Amino acid sequence: MIQALRNALTLPDLRRKLLYTVLILIIYRLAVILLPVPGVDQEALADFLAQTTGAGQFFNVLNMLSGGAIERFSVMANGVQSYITAQLIVQLLQPIVPALERLAAEGESGQRKLNRLIYYVTIPLSMLQSYGSIQLINSSYSVKILPNFGFTAVENILPTVTVLLSMVAGTMIAMWLGELISEQGIGNGISLIIFGGVVSGVPQNIVSLWSQGLDKDPSGGISVLLLSIILAIMAITMFVIVVVQEGQRRIPVQYGKRMRGMKMYGGGSTHIPLRVNTVGMIPLIFAQAILTFPGIVAQFFVNNESVGQFASGVISFFTPGQSAWYIPLYFAAVVGFTYFYTDVMVQQQDLPNALKRQGGFIPGIRPGKKTADFINSVYRRITLVGAVFLGAVAVLPLVTDVVLYSTLQIRTNALLITASGLIIVVGTVLDTMRQLEAQLLMRHYEGFI
């Protein structure tokens, strides 16, 4: 990796691409830091994020993915989450809506139309997310972070519209910056935007862990021990993530020979690489959202005389650190969503029909339904490994927090980077390095042309 970076920096065009990527990421970070939403009560927002309730935990996850944008309530607070949500919606609707399925089958022109549709869906989703987030925070905490937000009073309409438009504009700017990286830089722009947000919180987390250790031992011994434990766990976890992310089951494929005139074509053999983890960190986000939803709803009924006690119990049950059932529930939810989303992805790929159109077949397996059943059975077996892996990575920070609290009386909250953040970081680095090596290989061969 280091050698590839050195080689890239010696080439003027690749060096320009790398510097351009870094410049765009710096611009995004400056926008996160310097462009807050007008009228935000920063003290109330900080107190809200310090809560351990469902809403507080959920927004802390979003804060991590946005690189601290929610912590400052920047115009970039939504990040590219609305765009990713729009992508998922369009992707999940393709098997259901025939028009979308036809566009997906049209190749590059159809993909351009789908991308345009995703952009159109992103705008109302971003506005809905902005309004819902602010209303949820205002209703979940005793002090409103935006006192003049809402459409109930006439004098609040203009400030509310201003806030919503500014946050939607922030989302579109983040998408535009990501596309600039994809077109003129190195790597996937959207992934790098999220990557920059994830790693930007690492220094703050290190300082927090160090200060907690100093509170227990002013000499710094516990701080060194704590950081050493956390870094060792993260290094092992990242190694396992790389192994699993790169793991694949190769299905042999044979292509029949065909006669055209006096020449014989085809007859080659290759393989289909079925990845152990085809869905990335999406199941972790789904599981986190599902488990925080009951606690968020219950917060609206805490002050009710008839169901207030039950609502408080629901909040405690779905709050990490307060319920012994939260960790196994989180693990089971991640495993379930991994299987669900993998099945959706497999159905969209439609590998059996693709093989049939290209004249290929799996040796020993009849084409058609038998091939589809074989591929599905293999996917379900290898998905078990990927699902258990994702579940283990998801609960690892929670288990580490419980162990360290029981031994050192220290709350770590996360391993400097959360579970989904670790997968994002590793996946983005691997993808960027692949693109960089491809660019180097292309330029190497160009010297021989």
Q: Which two tokens stand for residue 433?
A: 């390095």
Element containing residue 407 per DSSP (H, E)? helix 369-408
Neighbours of 108 (CB within 10 A): 6
State the residue for tokens 């699902």: 387
CA contacts within 13 A on the Cβ side of 163 = 28
In this structure, the dihedral spanned by the alpha carbons of residues 373, 374, 378 and 381, taken in order and rounded to 10 degrees, is 50
Compute the residue count for the chain.
449
287, amino acid identity = A
Neighbours of 112 (CB within 10 A): 12
Q: How many Å separate Cα 192 from the centre of its chain?
A: 11
3, amino acid identity = Q
Is residue 184 within 8 Å of residue 70, measured between CB atoms?
Answer: no
Domains in the chain and their CATH numbers? 1-200 (1.10.3370.10), 202-416 (1.10.3370.10)
Q: Give dist(CA 84, CA 155) in Å, integer.
A: 34
DSSP string, 126-154: HHHHHHHHHHHHHHHSSS-SSTT-SSSSG
Write out the chain's pLDDT in tens, 449 residues: 666 677 777 777 888 888 888 898 888 888 888 888 888 877 777 777 776 555 666 676 667 666 667 777 888 888 777 888 888 788 778 778 888 878 877 777 888 888 888 888 888 888 888 887 787 777 766 677 787 787 877 887 888 888 888 888 988 888 888 888 888 888 788 878 878 877 877 777 787 778 877 777 777 777 788 788 888 888 888 888 888 877 888 888 877 666 566 665 556 677 788 888 877 777 877 777 777 777 767 766 766 777 777 877 777 777 766 677 888 888 888 888 888 888 877 777 777 777 777 777 778 778 777 888 888 888 888 888 888 888 888 888 777 777 777 776 666 555 667 666 777 778 788 878 878 777 777 766 444 33
**What is the edge-to-edge ordering of all strands in the sheet holding 360-361?**
269-275, 248-255, 360-361
| Cα–Cα distances in angstroms (integers) from residue 359 to residues 249, 252, 261, 337, in the given order | 22, 14, 18, 34
